[in-house]
Every structure is written in structure tokens, then in C-alpha cells.
Structure 1
Amino acid sequence: MKVGSRSSERWFNRALWLVALAFAWFLTALGSLIVGDLPQVEQHYTLEQFLDRERAGPTAEALRQIRREQEENRRRSEQAELALEAARSASAAARETFSNWLKTRDATQRVDQDPGLVSRTERLDALKDAERAIETRLEGFTREGLDLSERAAAQERVETEIRIAAADKLRSAETAQELRVFGYRLALTLPLLGLAGWLLLKRRHTRNWPFIWGFAFFAAFAFFVELVPYLPSYGGYVQYGVGIIVTLIAGRAGINAFQDYLSRQKEAEARPNEERRTEIATDQALANLAKKVCPGCERPINLTDPSTNFCPHCGIGVFERCGRCEQRKSTFDRFCHACGEPAAVPTAQPA
């Protein structure tokens, strides 16, 4: 805060900074919604959009037909298993009855001339033949099921190949889409950042400075915070590469600015003392003196020594005697703090 500013001015400046922050917050909230909704300008891709229709359609239909045949085969196999179980039960019951009958018949009768024995034996053979027929049919169902499983596996391999190819195309399309959306975001935020930089350079000292700073805060947040999560990665190469480029640009700009500052300071220190004092704003000079640094070269000076009237580093006058009351005062004071006498040498107005 400026040392020579009024109390009401300081509070009014604080209120204007609140206006700047509020303006930046509302702009940032709106910008976040816009940046987040930008992907909606692109269509949503699905895997089915990239399937080879000439191969995917027949393959899917063949798989559905195989599934239906497998289901029918399973149903018939279950029915055959139930029939086989019933036939085996009938054969077992018939054999038990035949065994009991043999125990109670007259054993002296000739076997080949016994019509009852022949009839019962033929019935047992017929039951056994029926059982074997069902087993043969069940074996056929099993072989058919194995064949269907092999056909299904072959079709599934074809379908997998088709889906893998479609997934590759989907990833490529999504990557291209992400790059396009990132381009939209960059095209939105980069001009805002450039405009904010221009406004700060050219308009930050105007009466509308709260809106200038609020817009600058918004543009910086939109570019460096909202845009960074959408920066393409590619394993970190892009992010680290962009970081290196930004660091080089910012570092080079900082080095040039520092060298320019040193050059300006050397040029200023070479000019006459009175001319240099008129170029330094009163509030800035008083603020530097309050920090015990020279207003001209910004190096530390010993202000507690009453004999220190000039900076030992650059030679600029920092204290003098009032021409009216001889009171020691700062050379940057517009009036003597003891008697109110105007300064003999005109000084620059506050910034």
C-alpha cells in the first residue's frame, strides 16, 4: 500500500480489488462451463460405428444360428438322458423280475422248449436294444454339440478380430476428437490470454483497472488451469515438452527484462541528481524509504544515521534541509512536515 495515500483511498482501493476478484470469479465460472461443454460439439463415438459391416453382420448372424442350434441340441440331449434313465430303470426292473421268476420255475423243464423263458428273454433283449438306441442317439447329440462348439469358437475368433480392428479405429477417432476439442479450447483461451496481456500493459492504470485485473485473472486461470488437464499426454512427452518451451520463453523474457532493468538503472544513475528525483513518484519514493532502500537504485541504505543525505551507491539525494525552518526532511516530500513549506525542487506527482 502506498505510504502517502489517504486512508479513504486505501479502503476504496481494497473495495475495487474485491470488485476485480468478483469479476474474475464470475468470468472463471462461465469459462469453466464453456470449456467443459466444448466436447458436446463433437459426436459420441461407439464401437459399433467402426465395425466392418460386411463381416460383422454375417458373423453375428452365424453365431446366433449356432447358439440356437446349441440350445436345441442341449434340449434334445436332456430329453435323451431322461429317456435313457427311464430305459435303464425299465431294464433293471425287467432283469430283477426275470431273476425272481427263474428262481421259482421248474428247473427240470428243457430251456429251449420253455416258451415263457423265451418270451421273457426276448423282452429283456428288446429293452436292452432300446437302451442302446437311446445311448447311440445321445452320443450323436454329444458329437453334434462338440461340432457346434468348434463352429462357435471359430465364429467368435472372427468376431474378436473384427472388434479388435474396430477398437483400434475407435481409439484413433477418439484421439483425433480429443485433439480437435483441445484445439477448440486453445483457440478460446489463447486469445483471451493475449488480450489480457495487452490490457495489462496498456490499460492497467486507467480508471477501469479493476475490470482489467479481473479479466487478467480469469484469462490466466482459463489458460493455465482449465486448459492443462486437457493437454494431450502421449506418455508425458507433450506436457514436458510444452513445460520446457514455456520455461525457456518465460526465462528468456525474465532475463531480458532484468537486463533492461539494469540498463535503465545505470542510465538513470548517470543523469543529474535533480532530474532523477523528478522522475520518481513521491509515493513510490516514500514507500522505498520506509523499507530503508534507496528510491533511485533500490539498494539498502542506513537511514538511522542522521548524516546520511545521499545514497552511497548511486548518489541520489534522499534528505535535505527545509529552506524555511532548516528541518531535515526527505527530498521527495512535496511539503515540509515541520512548517509546510513547499519543496524547492518540483517532484513527480504520485502514480
Structure 2
Amino acid sequence: MSKTLRLSEKWFHRGLWLVAFLFAWFLIGLGSSIVGDLPQVEVQRSLDDYLDPARAPAVQETIRVAQQKAREAQEALDQAQLRYQSAEASNRAARETFGNWLATRKVTARPEQDQELIARTQQLDDLKRAEREALAAMEAQQQSALDARQAREHAERELQDLQDSARVEYERARRAQELRVFGYRLLLTLPLLVAAGWLFAKKRKTPSWPFVWGFIFFALFAFFVELVPYLPSYGGYVRYIVGIVLTVVGGRYAIQALQRYLDQQKAAEAQPAQARQRELDYDQAQVRMAKHICPGCERGVDMNDGKTDFCPHCGLSLYDHCVRCNARKNAFARYCFSCGLPAKAVAADGAGSEPAPV
């Protein structure tokens, strides 16, 4: 920012840059929402939509039924295992009790206990039979669970075959949909980039420059940043190709602008020094003088020696003397820093006037 700008003007300038960034930020938010919602213009389809309509529903129903039967068989198996474990435990406990009783019976050898021996033996047989029945029921439930699981696995393999057959068509349709959605996004962002280039070339120095720069920031962000996450695998070529085209176009524009600038400088340097000095912008001249650069030819000049009054490259007057107080002053200053004489008054008096006595 120019050092010659007024303090309020500097703050207004900064405020306008803030307006530009805020404008860009809101545009970026709007553009991000639009770009993110563009896939909704297409119907989102899944792999199931491409399965054989004649076979797939029956296979899926078979899987559902097999899964239900497998759950029921597993629940019944759990109950059968519990009953078998209970019968096995009861039989084992009864045999331990009978063993203890039988040992006592052998010691006492009492004939009146023969009937009890027969009853206890019958009870053990009944428990063993119940254990075998529980084991048979558990094995039957295991078989049912195995049949249901195998039926489900067979149906799942059949469904997997159907999915493998449909996957080629699904991937082709998905890529085509990605390409269409990418085309929608490109149709949205590429014109923004073109418009930003036109605004940069034609409108960046107009009074509405904050909105121009805000739109340029938004267009660059939308194309080179916002569009990246949505690029398909082949979409990266578009990004790089556009970048190359923009680089070539921008480079040619810069080369042509440099040539025009050099031609303008040659034409300006061919004019009289006073004419060139009148055409120079005040603020720009002050900035260049502060940087020890000639405001006319923009070449470096050593201005620290206090003696260089003219540019050694183009002959432009850099320092002159006040006609009233004879103070050495900036030739582009509007007033003498020593006595306050306006530069216009100096021009009206004429260059050949003698300096007034101090």
C-alpha cells in the first residue's frame, strides 16, 4: 500500500479488501453447497438394481428363510444341549449315589434290600434312557442347524454369482454417472473461471474491484480446490489440462503485456522530460521515489548522495529547488516542504525565475 495515502484512506482500502474476502467466503460457501448437492440430480443406484430380476428375488427370499430357520434351529439346539447336559448330570449323580448305596449293601448283606436294589437299578436305566433321548434330540437339532446353514450358504453363493454377473454393468453405469455428475460440476465451475479471467483483465481496476477480486478468489477456489474431492479417476486430466491452458494463456498475456510496457516506456522516454513528469501519477511517483526508483523509467537511482537531481538513465527531473526559498525538494512534491510554496505557483512563475532571497 502506498505510503502517501492518507490514514483514513489506508483503512478504507483495508476495509475494501475485507469486503473482497468476505464476498469470496460467502460465494465459496454457496458454491460448496451447490457442488456438493449436484449428485442429487442423478438417481443413486446400487448393485441390487442390476441383478437378474427373475432369479434374484427368489434367491434373496431363500436366504431370508434359511437365515430364519438357522436362527430357530440354533435356539432349539441350545435348549436341547441344555436338556442333555441336565439329563447327563442327573444320570451321573444318580450313579454316584447308587454306587455308594451298593457298597453299603455289600457290607451289610441284608436280603430285605433286594427290592430296593431292583428299583434303584430301574431308576438308573430310566435316567440313562432319558440321557440318550436328550442326546438324540440334540443331534437332531444339530442336523437341522447344519441343514439350515448349508442352505443359507448355498443361496448366498448363488446370490454372489448373480452379483458378479451384474457387477460389470453396474460399474459401467456408475462410471457413466460419475462422468455426468463431473460434467455438471465442470459446467458450473469452468464458466466461473472464464468469468474470473475476464474480470481480472477488464474490471480489476474499476471502483468495484473488491467484488471483482472476491469473485476471482471464489472462482479459483471452486475450480482448483472445491472440485478436487469430486474428481473421478480420469477427471484429474481435466484439472491439469485446464491448469496448463491457463498457464499458457496467462504466460502469453504476461509476455504481450511486458512487450507493450516496454514499448510504452520507450515512447514515454522519447517525450520531453516535463511532459513525462506531468503525466506521472502523484502517489505512484512518491512510492517509487521512496524506493530509490526513477518514476519515469523505473530503473534504480542512488538518491542518498544529495546531489543526484536527474535520472541518469532517462533524464527525468527527480529533485529541484524551490523558487522562493531555494530548498532542494522532491520534484514531484505538490508543496515545498520548507516554505509551503505550491508547485503550481512555481509553474506559473516560470522555470527561468530567479530564486527569491531567503
Contact 1:333 1:343 in 2 (8 A): no
Match of 1:282? 282
Match of 2:354? none
Question: Which stretch of structure 1 is more off in the superposition, 213-222 or 296-305?
Answer: 213-222
Q: Deviation of residue 162 (structure 1)?
A: 1.7
Match of 2:293? 293
When residues 342 and 141 of structure 1 are mapped into structure 2, their CA distance, relative to the original with a 3 A threshold, is same
Match of 2:212? 212
Q: Equivalences for 1:174-185 in 2 at 5 Å?
A: 174-185=174-185
* Structure 2: runs of 5+ lacking an equivalent: 103-131, 351-358
**TM-score, normalisation: structure 2:** 0.67
Match of 1:38? 38
Match of 1:105? none
The one-character-per-residue Cα deviations of 1:165-224 (angstroms, maximum 9, x if unpaired) are 444444443433333333323322333333333334333343333333333333333333
Match of 1:203? 203
Query: Counterpart amino acid of 1:20?
Result: A
Q: CA separation in 1, counterparts of 2:221 and 2:75?
A: 66
Match of 1:321? 321
When residues 233 and 278 of structure 1 are mapped into structure 2, their CA distance, relative to the original with a 3 A threshold, is farther
1:311 and 2:307 equivalent? no
The one-character-per-residue Cα deviations of 1:282-307 (angstroms, maximum 9, x if unpaired) are 21111111111121232221011222
Query: Counterpart amino acid of 1:43?
Result: V
Q: CA separation in 2, counterparts of 1:3 and 1:77?
A: 90
Match of 1:21? 21
Question: Which stretch of structure 1 is more off in the superposition, 235-244 or 179-188?
Answer: 235-244
SS in 1 for 2:292: coil
The one-character-per-residue Cα deviations of 1:300-338 (angstroms, maximum 9, x if unpaired) are 210112221222333333223345544333333344444
Match of 2:159? 159
When residues 179 and 323 of structure 1 are mapped into structure 2, their CA distance, relative to the original with a 3 A threshold, is farther
SS in 2 for 1:54: coil
Percent identity between the aligned chains? 49
Query: Counterpart amino acid of 1:197?
Result: G
Q: Deviation of residue 242 (structure 1)?
A: 4.8
Contact 2:67 2:149 in 1 (8 A): no
Q: Deviation of residue 246 (structure 1)?
A: 4.3
SS in 2 for 1:211: helix
The one-character-per-residue Cα deviations of 1:201-256 (angstroms, maximum 9, x if unpaired) are 33334333333333333333333332233233349655555544444444444444
SS in 2 for 1:329: strand
SS in 2 for 1:320: strand
When residues 136 and 345 of structure 1 are mapped into structure 2, their CA distance, relative to the original with a 3 A threshold, is farther
**TM-score, normalisation: structure 1:** 0.68
When residues 207 and 135 of structure 1 are mapped into structure 2, their CA distance, relative to the original with a 3 A threshold, is closer
Contact 1:292 1:303 in 2 (8 A): yes
Question: Which stretch of structure 1 is more off in the superposition, 228-237 or 13-22?
Answer: 228-237
The one-character-per-residue Cα deviations of 1:132-178 (angstroms, maximum 9, x if unpaired) are 9x999999998998787666544332211222344444444343333
Match of 2:356? none
SS in 2 for 1:309: coil
* Structure 1: runs of 5+ lacking an equivalent: 101-131, 347-351
When residues 222 and 298 of structure 1 are mapped into structure 2, their CA distance, relative to the original with a 3 A threshold, is same
Contact 1:323 1:344 in 2 (8 A): no
Contact 1:76 1:141 in 2 (8 A): yes
Q: Equivalences for 1:42-61 in 2 at 5 Å?
A: 42-61=42-61
Query: Counterpart amino acid of 2:22?
Result: A
SS in 2 for 1:294: coil
Q: CA separation in 1, counterparts of 2:236 and 2:205?
A: 41
Q: CA separation in 2, counterparts of 1:202 and 1:250?
A: 14
Query: Counterpart amino acid of 1:45?
Result: R
Q: CA separation in 2, counterparts of 1:76 and 1:220?
A: 66
Query: Counterpart amino acid of 2:157?
Result: R
Q: CA separation in 1, counterparts of 2:149 and 2:22?
A: 68
Contact 1:336 1:342 in 2 (8 A): no
Match of 1:11? 11
Q: CA separation in 2, counterparts of 1:53 and 1:150?
A: 24
Q: CA separation in 2, counterparts of 1:26 and 1:79?
A: 65
Q: CA separation in 1, counterparts of 2:80 and 2:214?
A: 83
Q: CA separation in 2, counterparts of 1:177 and 1:345?
A: 79
Aligned-residue CA RMSD (Å): 4.9
Q: CA separation in 2, counterparts of 1:201 and 1:242?
A: 18
When residues 21 and 344 of structure 1 are mapped into structure 2, their CA distance, relative to the original with a 3 A threshold, is farther
Query: Counterpart amino acid of 1:179?
Result: L
Contact 1:20 1:214 in 2 (8 A): yes
